[in-house]
């Protein structure tokens, strides 16, 4: 953990070892602290990469809902 100080203009320098390749960040207040969330260049591609281990396919939400409805109907004996 590094200690940083805010200058008279409200700026904080992030130590080099904590910086990533991202150049833009969102600042968020969270449980009494401030968090910097990197903004990826391509948010959609970043989301795909982060979720690929839990996604089995690229079906739409509507398709998944319909499949869930059909499964419930089968379980109910309809």
Specify the pLDDT at position 48.
83
Share of the chain above pLDDT 70, in %: 92
Query: Does the structure show a pLDDT above 90 at 6?
Result: yes
| Annotated domain spans of the chain | 16-76
Contacts of 37 (CB under 8 A, 6+ apart): 25, 26, 27, 28
Indicate the pTM of the whole model: 0.47
Specify the pLDDT at position 56.
67
pLDDT, tens digit, 9 for 90 and up, residues 41-65: 888 888 888 887 776 667 777 888 8
Mean pLDDT of the chain: 84
């Amino acid at each position: 953990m590094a200690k940083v100080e805010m200058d008279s203009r409200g700026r904080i320098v992030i130590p080099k070892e904590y910086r990533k390749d991202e150049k833009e960040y969102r600042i968020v207040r969270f449980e009494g602290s401030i968090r910097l969330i990197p903004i990826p260049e391509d948010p959609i591609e970043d989301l795909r990469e982060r979720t690929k281990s839990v996604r089995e396919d690229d079906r739409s939400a509507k398709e998944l809902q319909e499949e869930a409805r059909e499964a419930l109907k089968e379980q109910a004996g309809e």
